[in-house]
């Protein structure tokens, strides 16, 4: 049965990847195709993927529709607009007999792919707006639930956590990082990872604007690089409610009077906003009673957890917890805006020499497929959300003024317009070939790190599954 479930799960993931990732590429190329047809430009081929074809067919107008072996994108062969022989093959059309397209036609056709990606993303955002997106309280706020005392940096040294050093506390709500407003934990982490602040001495620095007891406070935090990917970290975890799901009969929790749906407010006066804080306090108090406060309906109820014997697990008092989950219905325009902001900060950090974000931390086709797979295992609405992110990134990336990309074609067309004559075809062809090699090299480079991350996480998961239960 496990093998059958695993196979079914994998097939479902592959189907969703084909539909949504492949569909994103298809939508992009469809934009070029329809715009070219509308503007009277000759279309020779519509290909999903590069390289040799898997199969193809032609319509009555002679357009070849092809599925190719290298699933790294796609193209619409438009020999009137761009000399792409090194990538798309020789053109069948005698271009000498056709008038060259005007500047407006070039800009419309080359920009249509990104425009269609935005439209597709907006359509999916409208679906999420109506259907809702499942989210937990820990991801839907920026409240700090746990502050690590020490963490291990990228050099393997145990150091005081930047959060503890700066005085961040459990219950603080992070309102902004470096003046960038944060509304969700994902935004908080994105702004932290892409931050580029440094002191005059070169030490990493980020300004956390926090809300504490109704007041806004700016704290200077000095992140350190940690983890396998050497990301900027400060040593905080999100806060969330601990709601009692069940109580073991005759356990210390049952004797204390805990009831299902109680919300644990504090232990020994310390606010409880994460399972880590809960476990630490109980671990330190195995030989004495612990004062607890729970929210029960509209009432605040004090309870006393009796002292436990040392033979029991330190944090085991007979409680299991859950947390709040709900549906949010984010405005479609806000969804697009949030992703655009995230994309901007990522690209900005890539070119900022003071940041710690490099090309190796980006995701290529392998990394994208992995995220699609993980999203497919939980809820299809996460697949829709991630597809929005993919389409916005495709649009922004393709509009960059780099040869081979749509933005590069638009740049060449603009230069030709300004100089009064088109750039030499030989120059354009050479530039396209060189940058195509560089682009494929970058994809391979990024994919290497994607595979390494996937393999590393898979090993860690296997170790966790095979570890003996305590």
Distance CA(350)–CA(361), nearest Å, equals: 10
Distance CA(431)–CA(408), nearest Å, equals: 10
Q: Give the domain 134-239+323-328 fold.
A: Pdz3 Domain (2.30.42)
How many percent of the chain have pLDDT more than 90? 64
Tell me the per-residue pLDDT of 27-72, one tens digit each, with 9 for 90 and over. 999 999 999 999 999 898 999 887 788 989 998 888 999 988 877 6
Q: In the CATH scheme, what is the homologous superfamily, with its name and number, of domain 243-313?
A: PDZ domain (2.30.42.10)
353 falls in which pLDDT band (50, 70, 90)? Answer: very high
Per-domain residue ranges of the chain: 2-132+383-466, 134-239+323-328, 243-313
326 falls in which pLDDT band (50, 70, 90)? Answer: confident
Distance CA(223)–CA(63), nearest Å, equals: 55
Span of 40-44, 50-54, 162-166, 207-211 with lowest mean pLDDT: 50-54
Write down the pTM of the prediction: 0.87
H, E, C per residue of the chain: CHHHHHHHHHHHHHHHHHHHHHHHHHHHHHHHHHHHHHCCCCCCEEEEEEEEEEEEEECCCCCEEEEEEEEEEEEEECCCCCCCHHHHCCCCCCHHHCCCCCHHHHHHHHHHHHHHHHHHHHHHHHHHHHHCEEEECCCCCCEEEEECCEEEECCCCEEECHHHHHCCCCCCEEEEECCEECCCHHHHHHHHHCCCCECCCCCECEEEEEEECCEEEEEEECCEEECCCCEEECCEEECCCCEEEEECCCCHHHHHCCCCCCEEEEECCEECCCHHHHHHHHHCCCCCCEEEEEEECCEEEEEEECCCCCCCCCCCCCEEEECCEEEECCCHHHHHHHHHHHHHHHHHHHHCCCCCCCHHHCCCHHHHHHHHHHHHCCCHHHHHHHHHHHHHHHHHHHCCCCCCCHHHHHHHHHHHHHHCCCCCHHHHHHHHHHHHHHHHHHHHHHHHHHHHHHHHHHHHHHHHHHCCCC
> CATH topology of 134-239+323-328 equal to that of 243-313?
yes
Q: Quick one: pLDDT at residue 85?
A: 56
Does the pLDDT of residue 89 top 60, yes or no?
Answer: no
Spatial neighbors of 90 by CB under 8 A, at least 6 apart, are none
Nearest partner of 340 among 158, 172, 187, 132, judged by Cα: 187
Is residue 47 a contact partner of residue 113, using CB atoms and an 8 Å limit? no
Mean pLDDT across the chain:
89
Residue with tokens 């305590």: 470
Q: What is the mean pLDDT of residues 318-327?
A: 90
Distance CA(380)–CA(26), nearest Å, equals: 20
Q: Quick one: pLDDT at residue 469?
A: 47
Span of 76-85, 163-172, 194-203 with lowest mean pLDDT: 76-85
Q: What is the mean pLDDT of residues 162-173?
A: 96
Q: What is the mean pLDDT of residues 272-288?
A: 89
Q: 249 burial class (0-12, 13-18, 19+ CB within 10 angstroms)?
A: exposed
Per-residue tokens: 315: 């944090």
* Residues linked to residue 177 through DSSP beta bridges, in sequence order: 180, 208
Does the pLDDT of residue 264 top 90, yes or no?
Answer: yes
Q: Quick one: pLDDT at residue 470?
A: 45
Q: What is the mean pLDDT of residues 356-382?
A: 90
- The residue ranking higher by pLDDT, 445 or 316, is 445
Q: How far is CA 86 from CA 28, 70, 77, 89, 90, in A?
A: 21, 15, 12, 6, 8
Q: Quick one: pLDDT at residue 236?
A: 96
202: left (phi over 0), alpha (psi -120 to 50) or beta: left
Residue with tokens 């940690």: 226
Q: Quick one: pLDDT at residue 8?
A: 63
């Amino acid at each position: 049965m496990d093998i059958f479930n695993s196979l079914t799960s994998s097939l479902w993931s592959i189907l969703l990847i084909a539909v949504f990732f492949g569909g994103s590429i298809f939508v992009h190329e469809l934009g070029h195709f329809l715009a070219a047809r509308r503007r009277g430009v000759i279309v020779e081929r519509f290909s999903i993927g590069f390289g040799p074809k898997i199969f193809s067919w032609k319509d009555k107008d002679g357009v070849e529709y092809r599925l190719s072996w290298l699933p790294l994108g796609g193209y619409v062969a438009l020999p009137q607009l761009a000399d792409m022989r090194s990538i798309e093959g020789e053109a069948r059309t005698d271009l000498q007999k056709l008038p060259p397209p005007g500047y407006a036609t070039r800009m419309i056709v080359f920009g249509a792919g990104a425009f269609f990606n935005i439209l597709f993303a907006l359509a999916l955002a409208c679906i999420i707006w109506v259907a809702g997106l499942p989210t937990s309280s820990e991801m839907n706020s920026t409240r700090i639930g746990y502050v690590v005392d020490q963490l291990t940096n990228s050099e393997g040294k145990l150091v005081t956590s930047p959060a503890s050093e700066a005085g961040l506390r459990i219950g603080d709500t992070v309102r902004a990082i470096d003046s960038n407003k944060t509304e969700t934990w994902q935004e908080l982490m994105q702004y932290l990872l892409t931050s580029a602040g440094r002191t005059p001495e070169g030490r990493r620095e980020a300004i956390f604007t926090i809300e504490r007891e109704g007041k806004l406070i700016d704290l200077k935090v000095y992140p350190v690089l940690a983890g396998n990917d050497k990301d900027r970290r400060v040593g905080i975890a999100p806060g969330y409610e601990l709601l009692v799901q069940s109580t073991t009969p005759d356990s210390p929790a049952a004797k204390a009077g805990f009831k299902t749906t109680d919300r644990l407010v504090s232990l020994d006066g310390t606010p409880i906003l994460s399972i880590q804080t809960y476990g630490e306090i109980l671990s330190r108090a195995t030989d004495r009673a612990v004062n607890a406060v729970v929210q029960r309906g509209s009432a605040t109820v004090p309870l006393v957890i009796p002292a436990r014997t040392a033979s029991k697990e330190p944090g085991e008092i007979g409680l299991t917890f859950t947390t709040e989950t709900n549906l949010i219905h984010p405005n479609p325009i806000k969804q697009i805006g949030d992703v655009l902001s995230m994309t901007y900060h990522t690209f900005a950090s890539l070119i900022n020499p003071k940041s710690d974000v490099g090309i190796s931390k980006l995701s290529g086709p392998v990394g994208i497929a992995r995220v699609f797979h993980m999203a497919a295992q939980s809820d299809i609405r996460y697949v829709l959300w991630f597809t929005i992110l993919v389409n916005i990134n495709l649009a922004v990336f393709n509009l960059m003024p780099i040869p081979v990309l749509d933005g590069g074609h638009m740049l060449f067309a603009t230069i030709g317009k300004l100089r009064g004559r088109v750039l030499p075809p030989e120059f354009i062809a050479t530039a396209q070939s060189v940058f195509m090699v560089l682009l494929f090299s970058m994809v391979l480079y990024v994919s290497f790190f994607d595979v390494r991350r996937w393999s590393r996480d898979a090993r860690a998961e296997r170790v966790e599954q095979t570890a003996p239960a305590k």
